[in-house]
Structure 1
Amino acid sequence: MLYRERGDLTEHPLEGGDVTEGLVRIGETVRRPSAVTSEPVRRLLEGLAELGFAGAPRHLGVDAADRHVLDFVSGEVATRPWPAWLGDEDRLASVARLVRAYDDAALEIGLPEWSSAMLRDDPPGTPPTIAGEPQFIGHVDITPENVVFRDDAAFSLIDFDLARPATRAEEVVNMLLWWAPWVPVEDREYMVEGVDPFHRAGVIVDAYGLSDAERASLVPLSRNLADRSWHLMKHRAETLGGGWARMWGEGVGDRILRRQRWLAQNEAALREAVR
């Protein structure tokens, strides 16, 4: 559907993400360049809107430049350098509740045939995933830059470029990585250097709500994700370039290796934190 333009069409570049280029705001809309996953993301956002889920932007159409038009979700977003409020535990719990609400809505949409377009083959040498059969289309990129806050609580998820069929445990593992955070101290942003990643993991898991079996899977799955992500990031840097290549050049591969070691060294304490 061609989006019907109105008002001031001045473009304002949006920054803060790591890999999406050409993102702009025009009035109360965001324009995203077309990509391989644009069509399934459109279907996902339309499905969420039909369900009445308010925690994601609405898809409004495609503009004359073949960019996908979304409504602009106003509020606080953590652009770099990240703000001090990322360490707030009430905000942390609200993120987990928002992701749970999204996952519950996504579960109603299920895994339609079109969701297979969100999957990519693993590059050679990548360890196989241990996540099990996907349950719904997960967001699985729940970085601080991809959560909009209002009144000190998580209000909306944005940037569904990496959405794909996933499990509840995979969504929680992604939150643990970014929000606990499950990384060594030297790789944490300064405003969360002194937080307790074990305690915060418990806050996330309790606020989201998981079965005992899912809780038991979180640490092995986190280690598996770290093992897989080194190969995936390297492959994306080599084949997609852009922001992926920039992150690889800035040392993300070495940070992943340090995360692998940290997860292994702290496995027992991490299991206790989320049981």
Structure 2
Amino acid sequence: MAHPSGLDRLTSHAPDREEPLAGGNVAESVVRSGSTVRKPWTPATPFVHAFLRHLHAKGVAGVSAVLGRDEQGRQVLEFVPGQQGESAPPMTLAELRRLGAMVRAIHDASADFVPPPGARWDVAIPPDGADLVCHQDLAPWNLIRDGDTWTFIDWDASAPGTRLWDLAYLAQTFAPLVAGGDPEADAPRLRAVVDGYDLDAAGRAALPDKLVVRTRAMYDLLADGFRTGAKPWARLWAEGHGVHWGGAADYLAAHLPVWRSALR
């Protein structure tokens, strides 16, 4: 049965030769077909697509386009060419400020999005609130850079959250703020993201502690997956991701005065 909103209507997109795409940790069977990406349709997909269409309608840059659903029932998205953030050189301070401004524009455009009735979301980590729909995974592995064009991909985890929750993850992953870092070198990078976002004084005061909580939440997700065998978290734990996130959370907690001073 079609969704009453028409969000899951079938769109004709006959696939070309399909090429598996690497790099995803959660979605299975992600392929490129010509100028499109095909990936599994989930109960949350109609609502994620509605969100992306809302952002496009508002002219927000950096959002991959939704093209519908193919004959195999898969979601069809724009293929975005370029270099994945993880393989690109570390961002300069100017680039980190641009990144913060980019996400501020996404959040501002999201603020008046009203999810369709019965909205369902795929939430792995419960956020700290539900003020607006957020990407929830704004990290280097989900940013494609093609010259001056930057595009965030993999919006499947989009769900209600808060600006600070999304911003904390963005800053932690892009600065990056990880075990073995140099706090004095990392603090200006954190500030660059926050300055670009133009975060207010209350947000700057709250963000350092939020960085710790948001990063620790990733560790807890993986640790719970290891204990229960839940996929893909158990596999990611076995691959060492738990060590990464736990170390990052400890590093952030150990240097809270530095982050607070940088953002003051």
Where does 1:34-113 land on structure 2 (aligned, <5 Å)? 34-79=41-86, 82-84=87-89, 86-110=90-114, 113=117
Kindly indicate whether residue 163 of structure 2 is the aligned counterpart of residue 158 of structure 1: no
* Deviation, structure 1 residue 232: 1.8
266 and 110 in structure 1: CA distance in 2 versus 1, 3 angstrom threshold: farther
221 and 197 in structure 1: CA distance in 2 versus 1, 3 angstrom threshold: same
Q: Deviations over 1:12-69 (max 9, x none)?
A: 1111232222111111111111224222211111222222324212211111111100
Q: Deviations over 1:180-223 (max 9, x none)?
A: 1121127xxxxxx8992111001000001111111111111112
In the alignment, the residues of structure 1 paired with residue 106 and residue 143 of structure 2 have an alpha-carbon distance, to the nearest angstrom, of: 12
Percent identical among aligned pairs is 28
Structure having the higher helix fraction is: 1
* Contact map agreement 2:13 2:71 (CA 8 A) in 1: no
* Contact map agreement 2:183 2:255 (CA 8 A) in 1: no
In the alignment, the residues of structure 2 paired with residue 99 and residue 225 of structure 1 have an alpha-carbon distance, to the nearest angstrom, of: 17
* Deviation, structure 1 residue 110: 4.5
Where does 1:1-275 land on structure 2 (aligned, <5 Å)? 1-6=9-14, 9-79=16-86, 82-84=87-89, 86-110=90-114, 113-115=117-119, 117-119=121-123, 131=128, 133-151=129-147, 153=148, 155-185=150-180, 196-236=185-225, 238=228, 240-242=230-232, 244-275=233-264
145 and 55 in structure 1: CA distance in 2 versus 1, 3 angstrom threshold: same
In the alignment, the residues of structure 2 paired with residue 163 and residue 202 of structure 1 have an alpha-carbon distance, to the nearest angstrom, of: 25
Instruction: Give the CA RMSD over aligned residues.
Output: 2.5
In the alignment, the residues of structure 2 paired with residue 74 and residue 272 of structure 1 have an alpha-carbon distance, to the nearest angstrom, of: 39
TM-score after normalising by structure 2: 0.86
Gap regions ≥5 residues in structure 2: 1-8
111 and 66 in structure 1: CA distance in 2 versus 1, 3 angstrom threshold: closer
Q: What residue is the counterpart of 1:189 in the other structure?
A: none
Gap regions ≥5 residues in structure 1: 123-128, 187-192
* Contact map agreement 1:58 1:70 (CA 8 A) in 2: yes
In the alignment, the residues of structure 1 paired with residue 120 and residue 164 of structure 2 have an alpha-carbon distance, to the nearest angstrom, of: 20
In the alignment, the residues of structure 2 paired with residue 110 and residue 236 of structure 1 have an alpha-carbon distance, to the nearest angstrom, of: 32
* Deviation, structure 1 residue 83: 2.7
* Contact map agreement 1:115 1:165 (CA 8 A) in 2: no
Residue 19 of structure 1 aligns to a residue whose secondary structure is coil
* Deviation, structure 1 residue 9: 1.0
In the alignment, the residues of structure 1 paired with residue 112 and residue 146 of structure 2 have an alpha-carbon distance, to the nearest angstrom, of: 26
In the alignment, the residues of structure 1 paired with residue 19 and residue 32 of structure 2 have an alpha-carbon distance, to the nearest angstrom, of: 5
In the alignment, the residues of structure 2 paired with residue 270 and residue 107 of structure 1 have an alpha-carbon distance, to the nearest angstrom, of: 28
Amino acid aligned to 1:2: L
Q: How many matched pairs? A: 255
In the alignment, the residues of structure 2 paired with residue 265 and residue 90 of structure 1 have an alpha-carbon distance, to the nearest angstrom, of: 27
In the alignment, the residues of structure 1 paired with residue 156 and residue 173 of structure 2 have an alpha-carbon distance, to the nearest angstrom, of: 17
Q: Deviations over 1:235-264 (max 9, x none)?
A: 34545424x332110222222322232122
* Deviation, structure 1 residue 154: 5.4
* Deviation, structure 1 residue 115: 4.5
* Contact map agreement 1:115 1:164 (CA 8 A) in 2: no
269 and 78 in structure 1: CA distance in 2 versus 1, 3 angstrom threshold: same
Residue 185 of structure 1 aligns to a residue whose secondary structure is coil
